[in-house]
Chains A and B, each alone.
Chain A
Amino acid sequence: MTHAIAVGASAPDFTLRSLSASALALRALRGRPVVLAFADTFSIGGANADLLREIRAHLRGLGAVLVVLAKSAVFYFRPDDDVEAFDDASPELAREVRDIATAYGCERAMPALFVVDSEGVVRFARRNVDIQGAGGVEGALVAALDAAGRAVLSPKRSLLLTRREWVVTGLVAGFILAFVDGCRDNGAPSPMPPAPGASAAPPPLPAPPGSGDIDVTLNVNGTDRQVRIDPRVSLLDAVRERLALPGTKKGCDHGQCGACTVLVDGMRVNACLTLAIATQAPWAKITTIEGLATGENLHPLQRAFIAEDGFQCGYCTPGQIMSALGMLTEGHLKNDADIREQMSGNICRCGAYPNIVAAIAGVRARKEV
């Protein structure tokens, strides 16, 4: 017997007792919004790694818990943690999941999504979710979470709401957006990442467009990346906040520390004083610290910094390494004694200077750059 759980009803409680670790009960999650996803299959491995990373980023942003109930596995996502996967494939688990799906009226209507608020009330319910695109259930989930996040963030009113109202209205509005309009491609920018393997670069975190935003292409580490940005966005904020490349650091935002050093057309510059829009492709090629290693093989400077302990906290390190690379390739370094002067645009507050110099001198002596 199935009956549809309606919005506004109490979410049927359940306890998964057959999990190998410890039991998971819906009631125990009370106090935080919970997203329940039912699907025939769900995967977090291999090709889905980017989607997984995105799901986690979205849950963090929403402060929500996600429980995915698939036929032979359960995935429990807390916002701050690695996902816990219970992949028993045991008949007991399959039975438990089936029973819960029945309680939620979706055992024949998967994929299905429910949002349960912090009081345990169902705020959104949708069965037979239409999955389009390459991402499968996982991709659809990313799209839904993203739409929910955007709805929470786009301020439609100037009054301050309480936290609870926001979460509930935000999540609900988001899911409605996602599954009534959003998922069925209505021309809105899709947060869907490219097909797995299409690009080595991590997917960008979506940022909502603001007024006067412009689509630009940045060639970063050999890959063209599209971003929609306000002309004010510095190259530094573009890579850190829009392209999910936070290796380049912000230490002062005024060209006074060198932490943001990147190479533009092979020359080291301060990304904080560079407008992203002015370094778009094909005008410029940008290299950040993320572009130095080749797979598992570190760049000689990276290896030397580790060997000589050319850092402590590590925050200035990407800038130091990029600056060292620029210095060694720009061709103006006279001798080892000149390294200190030529690296003086990079402040290391931990005071690792002697080790940084040793690392660079070693690379230079070995002619590795």
Chain B
Amino acid sequence: MTASSVGKPLDRVDGRLKVTGTATFSAEVAVANVAHAVIVGATISKGKITALDVGEAQRVPGVVAVLTHLNAAKVPGADKPTEMTDKVVQVLQNDAVLYDGQPIALVVADTLEHASHAASLVKATYAAEAAICEMDKEIGAGFAPKAAPGRPPPDSNRGDIDAALATAFARVDATYTTPCENHNPLEMHATIAVFQGEDHLTLYDATQGIFGLRKRISKAFDLKPENVRVISHFVGGGFGSKGSAWSHVFLAAMASRATGRAVKLSITRQQMFAFVGYRPQTIQQVTAAASKDGTLVALRHEVTSATSRFDTFAEPSANVTRMLYACPNVKTSHRLVRLDVATPTFTRAPGEASGSFALESALDELSYSLKMDPLALRLKNYAETDPDEKKPFSSKTLRDCYTQGAAKFGWSKRKPEPRSMRDGNWLVGFGMATATYPSRQSAASALARVKKDGSAQVLAGSQDIGTGTYTIMTQIAADALGMSVERVHFDLGDTTFPETPVSGGSQTASSVGSAVKRAGMAVRTKLIDLAVKGKGGPLNGMSAEQVDAEAGVLVSKQDRTKSDSYEAVLARNGLDQIEEKIDEKEKAERKDHSTHAFGAHFIEVKVDPDFGEVRVSRVVSAFAAGKILNRKTARSQFIGGIVWGLGLALHEHTERDPRTSRVVTKDLADYHVPVHADVPDMDIVMVDEVDPYVNEIGAKGVGEIGIVGVGAAIANAVYHATGKRVRSLPITLDKLL
């Protein structure tokens, strides 16, 4: 057998490009004489534009065009989203202002300096209306969102929660809130749009979904999809915000069409807070009740999240409550309130990250009511099968995560009393929480090709947003082809490659990986067939089953001296290459199973007793996520998710002025994300798990589970350290004074 590459901690195949600064991100594609575009944003949150003075802007040297709603071409599809990731965009179609920072003009000039300066000279006059952004005041107007196709319904109810609550021994009723958070990938959204003639468009775009973008843009501009090419070889982080085509992509294309030039539009950091989505604020009411021995008898989780006036996105925070514990009586609901704000979107573990904060905090609170160890409470209510879908799990090794994580962390050293542990002046607290994330699979295609020089090229549309797609696909392909990784070149990020889903929902490894594996296997099968049935050769006449592939050489299993290289097979049969394209669907066995990854976080915090400053000092997190394709990149994904959880717990919140609904914290000095000094080293335990049902490669996806539960684990540790229960994230020091 070929030594397997999958599972090994292979260095990233694109590492060299990234450390030398030669990985080309969208705004860096060399386009000579490209025009630079800058968006002018509205400075009110609701109302109408009554006048736009662009005269001064147009007089700036180098300005090519100023697009406004008065002269921009109509884009009929702008407000007609069709897919789940599509958004209603504001692309200069009318005089309405719907949120702070909404694009109201686009300046195109020869240099960025000219465009930026001219943009600052566009003067808008508005008829402003009162804008509302305070969610708690609108909560009475909450409404139930429509269920998205293929996604769980907004409400659920199993058992009889009221009856169960009447008999409960211990009960927690609490309201938890999470704030608006902006993804803030370090690369700002950027597009270079190039119309070639009237009906061919190329977009170099920082996107998590090249095919979704192509579909949205080709429909909106009435172009043939095959005439729109999206290229995205490197993406500087996405976390959900680059999963949709936002206004700037349309605007760049409009500007290219209008001016006849290639147009580069890279939005500013401030604009990252305006029109590229965010995690909406939530208000979550949780009731958790148990009998005396800690058996959960009732869980109720009512979620309200905010959305815009003109589009709908619901943060599905209560879904996790439906399936995480074996509780017979569970009732959940999701409601939305409309505010004068931009539309929120998917943000790393949408729903699970915010919802697990509420659920896992409530369970911690319940553990104190019961005088029971928080870990013991979770083990007591371990769900052996999915209580929501009423199906067996395709695999679930959460128990091992709990025990291995707890052992490594030293959970048993935890003194149950709050405020009972110290390190010098610091208060010390231990907290834990469960992590889970669904393991999805979407249809995906891939093409594998072995060339006459014995090297392989493997193509799949897809994207690498830092998740390691280039690397793990190379490994999967190498194993499938029976080759060494050095001889396999995997490429992605181009709509001329086979179609793949959005890089979101932790589904790329599962979906694209399965297609790549099958494409590689198909080519290998063809090669073996040629070797045994084609022209001559040392393996001719054997049955295919007798032949093995190893580092690009076919070998007889019986007599290993008999071998035939891929080059030789191709040459002998007069072929330049052998290729196979595979269209992979969801694995059939998934239907009969519930598919989730699981994990457990054990976190130590230190809290300054005077100032309430919280420092995360230790993290041990254990995950069972099926086959780990690359231990190095997977560990990075887990760590990255946990760092996001740390930000969620302690730092991140986007604030608006309640009187104007305008964002006040719109840069990286006002919107804090964790820095080096906030993040300790971490101990990541990857629990072995074999899952034959989840997909072709047995991997569950690791991009999102890392963040899930971290908010609660830290909040629980803070409670343990201080005796103060903070139910409103982030846990800034003022909440602990």
Contacts and interface: CB of A to CB of B under 8 A. Distances in A.
Would A and B touch once assembled, by the CB under 8 A criterion? yes
Contacts of B20: 247, 289-290, 292-293, 298, 302
Contacts of B633: 309
Please name the 10 residue pairs, one residue from A and one from B, whose CB atoms are nearest each other, closest first: A247-B21, A166-B260, A351-B643, A313-B466, A315-B236, A314-B18, A149-B33, A312-B466, A118-B197, A63-B196
Interface stretch (A7-15, A193-201, A341-349): A341-349
A210 B640 contact: no
B444 interface: no
A351 B195 contact: no
Interface string A154-193: 1100101111111100100000000000000000000000
Given A63-B262, A347-B673, A33 B196 contact: yes
A210 B261 contact: no
Contacts of B63: 155
Interface in A224-247: 230, 232-233, 237, 240-241, 244-247
Contact of B30 (A60, A155, A314): A60
A168 B110 CA distance: 19
A307 B676 CA distance: 19
Contacts of A62: 33, 262
Nearest to B471: A309
A357 B681 contact: yes
Contacts of A79: 194, 196, 202
Nearest to B671: A256
A28 to B, nearest CB: 12
A307 to B, nearest CB: 6
A86 interface: no
A314 B640 CA distance: 13
A238 to B, nearest CB: 11
6 contacts: A62-B33, A210-B113, A305-B18, A312-B637, A315-B466, A350-B237
Nearest to A150: B33
B575 to A, nearest CB: 14
A333 interface: no
B311 interface: no
B187 A315 contact: yes
Contact of B636 (A56, A245, A345, A352): A352
Interface string B1-24: 000000000011011111111111
B33 A208 contact: yes
Given A205-B32, A353-B679, A354-B681, A230 B16 contact: no
Interface in A320-369: 321, 339-341, 343-358
Given A63-B195, A237-B113, A315-B187, 13 more contacts: A31-B198, A149-B32, A153-B33, A164-B198, A166-B261, A210-B62, A254-B667, A257-B186, A309-B636, A311-B466, A349-B186, A349-B239, A354-B681
Interface string B467-500: 1100000000000000000000000000000000
A201 B12 CA distance: 26
Contact of A349 (B642, B673, B679): B673
Best-surrounded residue of A118, A249, A298 (most CB of chain B within 10 A): A249
B281 interface: no
A75 B233 CA distance: 24
Interface residues on B, range: 35 or more
A259 B195 contact: no
B29 to A, nearest CB: 7
Interface of A: 31-33, 53-54, 56-58, 60-65, 79-80, 118, 145-146, 149-150, 152-155, 158, 160-167, 170, 205-208, 210-211, 230, 232-233, 237, 240-241, 244-254, 256-257, 259, 288-290, 292-293, 298, 301-302, 305-307, 309, 311-318, 321, 339-341, 343-358
Given A33-B197, A57-B30, A166-B261, A341 B677 contact: yes
B111 interface: yes
A344 B668 CA distance: 13
Nearest to B22: A247
B110 A154 contact: yes
Given A145-B32, A312-B466, A210 B61 contact: yes
A161 B260 contact: yes
Contact of B676 (A163, A248, A339): A339
Contacts of A241: 111-112
Contacts of A318: 19, 21
Contacts of B187: 249, 251, 313, 315
A31 B237 CA distance: 35
B42 to A, nearest CB: 21
Contacts of B25: 246, 249, 315
A208 B62 contact: yes
A44 to B, nearest CB: 16
Contacts of A233: 113
Contact of B65 (A160, A164, A348): A160
Nearest to B18: A314
Contact of A312 (B65, B113, B200, B640): B640
Interface of B: 11-12, 14-25, 27-35, 58, 61-65, 71, 110-114, 117, 184-188, 192, 194-200, 202, 227, 229, 231, 234-237, 239, 256-262, 266, 268-269, 465-468, 632-633, 635-637, 639-644, 667-669, 673-677, 679-682
Contact of B29 (A60, A150, A154): A60
Best-surrounded residue of B33, B111, B260 (most CB of chain A within 10 A): B33
A255 B12 CA distance: 29
Contacts of A259: 186
B110 A313 contact: no
Nearest to B67: A160
Contacts of A256: 269, 667-669
A253 B266 CA distance: 12
Contacts of A149: 32-33
B186 A315 contact: yes
Contact of A230 (B111, B192, B637): B111
Nearest to B199: A31
Contacts of A32: 196-197, 200
A298 B186 contact: no
Contacts of A158: 58
A65 B196 CA distance: 9
Best-surrounded residue of A158, A245, A309 (most CB of chain B within 10 A): A309
Given A63-B196, A321-B19, A153 B110 contact: yes
A224 B677 CA distance: 37
B258 A252 contact: no
A41 B185 CA distance: 47
A206 B32 contact: yes
Given A63-B262, A256-B669, A355-B639, A80 B65 contact: no
A77 B24 CA distance: 20
Contacts of A248: 21
A230 B202 contact: no
B12 A313 contact: no
